[in-house]
């Protein structure tokens, strides 16, 4: 086992297209972990191996690759850059002691750069940056560096800077060691710093020293006394300041050309954080990386594959584990024997005999595994709730089978996809009798439906989910119905008189028996109530369930021979329908409690859009980070397409959460359209 202090876990985060996968590929190739350098465009990289990723030429899953570099052990985690797959960033960033924010030198800080940066800061992970693509036309290191300083709102230091850019990019200047590294025909050589870059080196190095001495009182005294500060002292301050998140080192290079890549890794070996350098505070509990403590590993990723089965990815937080041992699996609430453990290497898995603190392991065939749960020493169980703060799904779609008889395969496949992706939800809506899937965005849902097709061999159609409308009444009304049927032998007879009255919202249904003098025998009263409940399943306007109604049974009659339970049920059903038509029937719609986070500059436009969606805004709260929180109640029917509009208004920076609040009456001018559409739908079904 590698010494824990020589382990480096690095998660690459950033905007889509900034080069995270290419940077991972370049690191692996340059360090002989893979035989050839693949290309995202050609779909043959070590990290993007999912068939959907290969097809789309973009990461949609977080991938892990462990490799040796001398006597150091690195684990790279390549995360997706699309906001729809932000859940993968949430679950993997926590298990990395080093987080690399990759930026494109032509684009600088982008929307996902900021979002993923916040996730790393929330987890208190040490951050460094790699400004990629210095070989591109219009690449601008200085401008991107200034944007990072603004975003970081803290101490950012340039560890190196480029020599040239675009076609003239040929190497980097090492700020700490004051030397140039020139690349020619894929090979590097150390050189003196070009004369024209010496002033720039002086400025960056002065800034680096000033920021580092602020972290150490002894160095500060030396600095003010104008005494020399050694390279070793600066490296010591760098190591400590980085691990504690006090400074953000920045590197430059080109992943595709391999320039600056190994220099960045050299620095990570020197001052990067090991598992013993970073505090693991999970759910308010600190878990110390003690190699001799009882074994504990956190599940952060689950992959369900129809061919190889289930793979559970976990980060060892303390202790060590040998294959063939027994663990307590919190997900299954049971102990399990684990016969094999692997170190992941992209789509391949390298089997190992044991794993220790800092290792990311893949465990096959656990009975159950859920992201955010633990596997642990059976004698020392650990359980912490809500470890990962996953974003709530913002988009919902209905799912219909294209082929008959595949509904079980579809629900099974969707359930497995939901197990591997906590931001993807699937449920069956009993009111509308349809499967509804929910995700972060349209791309998220489309990709998972594509996975359903490729992995589980079923095809579905997506549509707008039906809205679970309700029907109710607005005034009191009386009704009666006499069910009388004679067909030889015993007939049928049931006669009821009822009064309907509206109840306050969310009060459901009340039934009151006011029969006196035995007009209806007691044994038939439950049949009347049962009939009314049956009638309430389909209202008279559009066949939606009826709610918030009180029914009083006050009179009726019976026949000693022909009366029966079924006769009184039928009489009650017909009386209720008649009474409802006379009681001012109306439609109710679900209202959602929405919280919308928007940049300051977009607040007015988003509020205008919410008003147009019949939203009621309850308040605006400044978030102190350039964002405002708008609290609003909005009809669910108006929120189905809100996500794409919010993205458009805020340039992808806005996001929202919503949950059911209550039911309200649909405005009269909209009811006719809803009723007409519902009747057409029912006719089609029949």
DSSP E strand stretches across 115-217: 127-132, 155-158, 160-163, 171-174, 179-184, 187-191
Q: What is the pLDDT of residue 92?
A: 95
Residue partners of 665: CB distance under 8 A and separation at least 6 = 472, 586, 587, 588, 589
Q: Do domains 4-278 and 588-670 have the same CATH topology?
A: no
User: By the 8 A CB rule, do 29 and 382 touch?
Assistant: no
42 vs 21: CA distance, rounded Å? 13
Whole-number Å distance between alpha carbons of 29 and 256:
11
Fold held by 588-670: Alpha-Beta Plaits (3.30.70)
Whole-prediction pTM value?
Answer: 0.81
Its CATH class, for the domain covering 395-463, is: alpha beta
- pLDDT (0 to 100) of residue 2: 67
Burial class (CB in 10 A: 0-12, 13-18, 19+), 339: exposed
- In 319-373 the beta strands, taken as DSSP E runs, fall at 321-322, 326-329, 334-337, 341-345, 348-352, 354-355, 360-364
Contacts of 165 (CB under 8 A, 6+ apart): 105, 134, 135, 139, 140, 141
Would you say the C-alpha torsion 595, 13, 83, 331 has a positive or negative sign? Answer: negative
CATH of domain 4-278: 3.40.50.300
104-120 pLDDT per residue, tens: 999 999 888 988 999 99
β-strand partners of 74 = 8, 67
> What CATH architecture does domain 471-584 belong to?
2-Layer Sandwich (3.30)
What was the pLDDT predicted at 488?
A: 65
Give the closest residue to 81 by CA, choosing from 45, 39, 34, 117: 117
C-beta of residue 150 within 8 angstroms of C-beta of residue 46: no
Structural contact between residues 564 and 489, judged by C-beta atoms closer than 8 angstroms? no
CATH of 283-376, one of 3.20.20.60, 3.30.110.30, 2.40.30.10, 3.40.50.10190: 2.40.30.10
Q: Which stretches of the chain score pLDDT less than 50?
A: none
C-alpha–C-alpha distance, residues 645 and 651, integer Å: 10
Element (H, E) at 456: helix 442-456
Angstrom distance (rounded) from CA 360 to CA 9? 9
- The H or E element spanning position 528 is helix 525-535
Residue 485 confidence (pLDDT): 86
Per-residue model confidence (pLDDT) at position 40: 87
Q: Which residues pair with residue 460 across a beta bridge?
A: 401
Q: Where are the domains of the chain?
A: 4-278, 283-376, 395-463, 471-584, 588-670
CA dist list (Å): 542 to 65, 89, 570, 585, 590? 56, 44, 20, 10, 16
Q: Provide the 8-state DSSP code for 544.
A: P
Nearest to 99 by CA among 6, 10, 7: 10
Please give the pLDDT value at position 1. 53
The angle formed by the CA atoms of residues 420, 425 and 431, to the nearest 5 degrees, is 145
pLDDT tens, position by position, 127-145: 999 999 999 999 999 999 9
User: Partners of 315 in the beta sheet?
Assistant: 298, 360
Residue 308 has what pLDDT? 67
């Amino acid at each position: 086992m590698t010494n824990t202090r020589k382990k480096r876990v690095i998660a690459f985060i950033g905007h889509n297209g900034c080069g995270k996968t290419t940077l991972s590929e370049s690191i692996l190739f340059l360090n002989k972990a893979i035989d050839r350098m693949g290309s995202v465009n050609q779909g043959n990289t070590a990290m993007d191996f999912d068939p959907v990723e290969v097809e789309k030429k973009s990461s949609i899953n977080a991938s892990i690759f462990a490799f040796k570099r001398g006597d150091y052990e690195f684990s790279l985690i390549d995360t997706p850059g699309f906001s729809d797959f932000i859940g993968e960033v949430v679950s993997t960033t926590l298990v990395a002691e080093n987080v690399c924010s990759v930026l494109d030198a032509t684009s600088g800080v982008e929307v996902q750069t900021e979002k993923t940066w916040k996730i790393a800061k929330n987890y208190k992970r040490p951050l460094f940056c790699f400004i990629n693509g210095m070989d591109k036309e219009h690449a601008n290191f200085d401008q991107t560096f200034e944007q990072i300083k603004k975003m970081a709102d803290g101490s950012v230091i340039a560890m190196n800077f480029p020599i040239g850019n675009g076609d003239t990019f040929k190497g980097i200047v090492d700020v700490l060691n004051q030397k140039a590294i020139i690349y020619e025909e894929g090979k590097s050589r150390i050189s003196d710093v070009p004369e024209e870059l010496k002033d720039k080196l002086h400025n960056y190095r002065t800034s680096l020293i000033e920021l580092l001495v602020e972290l150490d009182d002894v160095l500060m005294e030396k600095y003010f006394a104008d005494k020399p500060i050694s390279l070793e002292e600066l490296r010591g301050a760098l190591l400590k300041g980085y691990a504690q998140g006090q400074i953000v080192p920045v590197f430059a290079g080109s992943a595709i050309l391999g320039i600056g890549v190994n220099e960045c890794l050299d620095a990570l070996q020197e001052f990067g954080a090991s598992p013993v350098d970073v505090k693991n505070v999970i759910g308010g509990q600190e878990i110390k990386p003690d190699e001799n403590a009882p074994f504990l590993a956190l599940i952060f990723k689950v992959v369900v594959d129809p061919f190889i089965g289930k793979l559970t990815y976990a980060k060892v937080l303390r202790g060590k584990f040998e294959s063939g041992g027994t663990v307590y699996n919190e997900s299954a609430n049971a102990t399990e024997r684990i016969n094999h453990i692997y170190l992941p290497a992209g789509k391949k898995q390298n089997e190992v005999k044991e794993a220790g603190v800092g290792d990311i392991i893949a465990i096959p065939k656990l009975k159950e595994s859920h992201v955010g749960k633990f596997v642990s020493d059976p004698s020392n169980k650990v359980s912490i709730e809500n470890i990962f703060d996953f974003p709530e799904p913002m988009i919902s779609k209905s799912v219909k089978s294209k082929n008959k008889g595949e509904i079980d395969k579809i629900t099974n496949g969707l359930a497995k996809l939901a197990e591997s992706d906590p931001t993807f939800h699937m449920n069956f809506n009993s009111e509308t009798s349809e499967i509804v899937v929910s995700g972060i965005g349209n791309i998220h849902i489309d990709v998972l439906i594509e996975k359903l097709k490729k992995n589980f061999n079923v095809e579905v159609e997506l549509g707008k989910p039906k809205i679970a409308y309700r029907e109710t009444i607005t005034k009191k009304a009386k009704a009666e119905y006499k069910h009388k049927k004679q067909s030889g032998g015993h007939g049928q007879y049931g006669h009821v008189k009822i009064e309907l009255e509206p109840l306050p919202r969310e009060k459901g249904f009340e039934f009151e028996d006011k029969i006196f003098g035995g007009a209806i025998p007691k044994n038939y009263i439950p049949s009347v109530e049962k009939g009314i409940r049956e009638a309430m399943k389909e209202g008279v306007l559009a066949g939606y369930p009826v709610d918030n109604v009180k029914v009083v049974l006050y009179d009726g009659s019976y026949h000693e021979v022909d009366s029966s339970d079924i006769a009184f049920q039928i009489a009650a059903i017909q009386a209720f329908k008649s009474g409802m038509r006379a009681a001012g029937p109306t439609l109710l719609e679900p209202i959602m409690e929405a919280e919308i986070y928007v940049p300051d500059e977009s607040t007015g436009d988003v509020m205008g859009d919410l008003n147009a969606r019949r939203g009621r805004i309850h308040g605006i709260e400044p978030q102190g980070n350039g964002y405002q929180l708008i609290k609003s109640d909005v009809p669910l029917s108006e929120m189905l397409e809100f996500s794409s509009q919010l993205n458009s208004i805020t340039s992808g920076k806005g996001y929202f959460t919503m949950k059911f609040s209550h039911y309200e009456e649909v405005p009269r001018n909209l009811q006719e359209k809803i009723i007409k559409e519902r009747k057409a739908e029912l006719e089609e079904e029949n």
